[in-house]
Structure formats: C-alpha cells, structure tokens
Structure 1
Amino acid sequence: MMETDLLTPKERYNGVILIGVRRNEIVEFIKVYAENKDLAKELLEQFLYEKGIHPADFVVVDQGYESVEGKEIISTRTESELSAFLARFGLRLLSNGVLYLQGKKEIYQITSVSQDLLEEIKTRTEKTARIELKEEPLRVDLDEINLPEGIKEKLKPLELMEDTLIINYAEIPISEILKSVTKGAVKIFESMKIGNFTVKIFDENLHEVIAKNKGEILIKPPVIVWDGYIDSVEDFEFQTVNGNVYNAPLFLKAYKGFLILQEPPPELLEKLLRIKEKGFLKLKGKVVKIKERFTIIVDTKNPTKYNGIVLPIKIKLPYLGSKEMKEILEKEVGFEIPLEIVEEIPTKYRTFKSILILVKLFKRLQSKRLEKEPLELLKDALSLFIGEKNESH
C-alpha cells in the first residue's frame, strides 16, 4: 500500500524518496527506495505528479534491488556518499523522511536524474576520463637533504624502504626528513568496498593530492606519523563514520608510503607486523586483503621495549658529536661558532630538539638586546638553556 502525504517528512516503513535540489529548489535528482519494484514506480510517478515535473524531463539511470544488510534506516544521514556526489554538482540532498528497514536485507531502488544533470555528469566524466594518472617509482633520495654527512650515511638504509627501528638519541626529526626526501607518485582509491561496507581511504589531512580521476587519486607517497604519547591506538581500527561507512585504519592510509611510529606500544607494533605478514585483516567478519605494502619506521629512545621484536633494519643515531652540533647550529644562526663553546654542552643536550630550543632562545634574546654581539647572545642562550649562571650579565 502506497503511503500518503508524500511530500511531508516523517517516519516511513514502505518507501522513502531522496532528492537532489538546487538553491532555487529545482529538483534535479530523485532516488526512490521501496519494498518492491511496483511500489517504487508508483512512488516515483506520484512524486513527479505532485511536484509538477514532466516525466520526459527525467531519465531512469539505475534500478534494481540493493543490499541493505546491516542497516537499520535509510535517511540523508546514512547516504553520505550520495550527498557528497550531489554536492559536487551544486545539489543538496533532501528526503521525505526516514525509512525504517525492519530487518530487510534488500530493497528496491529507482534512480532518476534530469536531462540537464545527466548531460552535466556526462561532460564531467568525459573530461575526467582524459586525465591519466601515472604512478612514478617510490624512492628515498637522501642526497638532497641538508645534514652532516655522518648522519646522512647512518640514514642511508632508509632508501631500502624496509621496516626499520631507529634508536634516535639525537632526536633527529625523522618524519620531516622523510617527507622531504621521499619522491614519486602513487595511486590510491578514494574508498574501497568490503562486502556492504564502504571504507574511506583518502584523507585530505594526510594525503597530498597530485590529480584525481574516477575515484582514483594520485598522491605523493604518504609519510604518516603516529605519536605514542598523544595519539590513540584506536587510530588503527575501523571507525564508524555513519551507517555502513567506515574510516580506514591509519596503516591503510599509509599504503605505498611510510608509517612512522614514535614510541609505539610493543603490542601495537607486533599487531601491525602480523597484519603485514598475513596480508589481510577483518571488518565485521569480512576479510580485507592488503595488496600494497607500507613501510614501518619505529622512532624511539627506548629500544629495550622492542627487544623481542625483529625488524629488518636497525639504525642507531647517538647524541650529536661536537662537530655535528657545531655544523648544524652554525647553519641555524648564520655565523661561525668556536668549537670549544659547543664542547661545553652536556651530552644529553646534544640533540636536534635542543638546537631548535637554543636557536629560539637566541633569536628572542637578539630581539631584546640589540647592543650585544651575536656570539655573546648565543652564550647567554646556552647558559639559560643548560641552567648555568651567565657570568656575562
């Protein structure tokens, strides 16, 4: 039995109508869900009649039974992908209510679009089809990075793109370095289907887009960072967006790139290595095959935590030597520094992080004490930083 009050938003149990409208309220898109084909056709015809739309102005582009297993309702909130698609054409998704599925596993749908919208979709599709997304080989080129040669040599194994444990006493900014030296272009899917579920892979906050084409995206090789002190292990689980749409775990977003784990729990590292080894994981009982690899980089100052875990490569980055620290510090402040000044810095402060703090202090002092020589200001900054009394005051 067909429902009355077709244009009134309310709770519905037999069928629902989703529409895409422009700002001037002109309907350009109609999708009808109903218990069966006949009811879907009746609802579509009645809607066209009540809105004063001539049937010849619309074209049915898709119809048939659609799986709704796992869904409880159909509404504008559950149809986020459709809403996003329509938004690209300047349309807003509306409905005449919420359809309660009451345990149904499938439901009939008819999708109809205006002649104008169909032409616009075809035009955009033809333009998009002409864009060929070409991958470029992924590589790490450390020759371009501005670091002391000794440090560059220690980091060379990263060019092999194998899982690596970096014992980073020098607190070298591994993520920044990898982002600057990782070259190439890789293709990922905007989302992937797992049974009746949609998993969103592309993340505008993590991926740098080069080009897009029909759900495929060409990006720079991802270098994704997870910090064990501030981030959550839940980042590595499927997270519900709405309905049957999920956000991909962080490691799936690192496909064809690097996943940098800063002080990760050993259990998390073991889990990720196991996923890589087996080549699959599960979502609600559905198996997800992992076709593409991602490289794990563990960045730690506490290597004993990982004694029982075997990674192909281990890189040791000790505290900076006097000459290394002198070279880096001189590049930051822009003048020559006597080696004996650097040699007085205690070992625990000979790190990249310490250099950044020291340079910040130096520049702050420089803006306040214009009459002092730069070298004297640097000495003052050092005294403040390491907690020694500054005799020059």
Structure 2
Amino acid sequence: MSMEDVLVPRERHDAVVLIGVDRWENVEFIKVYAVSEEIAKKTLEEFFNARGLFPGDYRLVSRGHEEVGERKVITTKTEGSLSAALARLGLKLLSNGVLYLENIERLYQFTLVSETLYERIASETTTKESRRVKIKGPVDELEALSLGLDAIVENLRGVELSEFLPENALLLREPPVERVVELLSGERDYPLIVETKDLKKYAPLDFPVVLRLPPLTVEEFTAELSQRLGFDVDSRYFLSYPPERLNLRNVEALAKLVRALMEKKGLSEKDVLELAVRLNLGEL
C-alpha cells in the first residue's frame, strides 16, 4: 500500500482506516483495523505520512486484538455506535474504504485521539448539568464513554453507567489500584471503565477519559424523589443530608422505603417522610 493509496477509498482485505474529522477537516480521531499488528502499524504510519500528520499530536488510547464475530465487513455504515459517539463530539466519521472479513476471525486495532480532543474530553465536567433542577436524560459527558476508550468516572451522582458503555467494555467499581495498573499495562481488546467515589485514589494512573459527576443538589434530589413518589416533597427534609447521600441510587432507595412505609404503616405523607429520612440516615 503506497502513501497515496492509503487515502483512496476502495475495497480492502488487509486494513482500513476510520477517522473522525471536524468541520475544518482536521483529523481528531483515528482507528485502524488490520489483519495483523504489523500491518496495522504500517498502515498507520502511511496514513500519517500521506495526510502530513505528526504522531506527536496524537495519543494512543487503545490497542489490541478484537474478535470479528458476525461482522462480514467494516465500513462507516457498520460502525454506527462509533459514528454516533463522534457526531455528539461534532465529528464526522470517514474511512478509506471497506475492509472485507472473509476467513478472518481476529483483527488488530489502534485507536488514537488528537491532543486537542483528548484535552476536551478530559476537561469536560457536569457543570451545566448540575444547574438543572430536573435530570431528564443521560448526562451529556457520559456519551464520551461510548468511544470505547479507557475511562475513569468519579460518580458521586449515582448515575448508572452501564447504559453508556460499549458492549465489550469492562466496568469495575472501586477496584484495587494494583488491578487497574495490571489491566492498563496489559494488552486488551476491550475498554476499561473504572467507577469510583474517590478519584484521588487513582491519581497516579493515566486515563484517556476522566469524568467527574458531582452529587445532586438538594433541589435535584428533591425533584427526583418527588417524580418517583408522585407527590411534591419538601426540600427541607434533605438540607442536612451529607453530600455522599445526595445521589440517584439513594433517591431510588428512599423512594422504595417511603412506598413500603406507606403501605404498611398507613401514615400520612408527612409522617412517612420524616420516618423514612431518619431510617435512611441511620438515626433510629
């Protein structure tokens, strides 16, 4: 494959290059699929040379073998989840053709992101989300997890992360640091997602994606609980709640507790809430 050939869209049987470009045609994301590691390296080098790109401007965020499975080809149309994830970042998915997978069981892949995109993803927080009184949908920043990159999420909000992950991702909650080091340094064909409530614990480790989800505000917590219970809840019950209790998982737990008390105790909404809050805080 010549330097010029690597840019020409055509049918391929050895390697394909998928890229994410912004509206100015800057290459912000690169993924190479190839029948071997050697061909993947060669294809990536030829692509850099042909596009006049500098390897130092990109970070290698994922590499390793990947099972072909039921796929017959790889093209932009078969990479729907990747295309959607890039679109949410303002990028368009392009490729240099179609890679046919006949008689191929495993592929080798490299995934790289530009320093610009890396810094953008790593620095995004949920500031705008925390200003909302009602959480009606997915946290926008968590869409970055669908890119298939290793990530660490300080999840003080109690968001369920599994719905944002690629199918082959490994989600670990509060794993030992030694285990994370072992996984990050080894060769894998899946992204690692670490969920924690203490980001400092993993501070020495480098993740392409670092997300921080702050606790709910008292107003958000109250709004979520009111929605689940079907009646308005006074926010004063939660003014003294510790931040670590102001999360979506505790909202669900408290809602179940309130409903159970209402069924068995026959108390008024006010009395039930006061009792439920005390039980939830361990004050009885």
| Structure 2 length-normalised TM | 0.49
Whose helix fraction is larger, Structure 1's or Structure 2's?
2
Greater relative contact order (Cα < 8 A, sep 6+): 2
Q: Which has the larger Rg? A: 1
TM-score by length of 1: 0.37
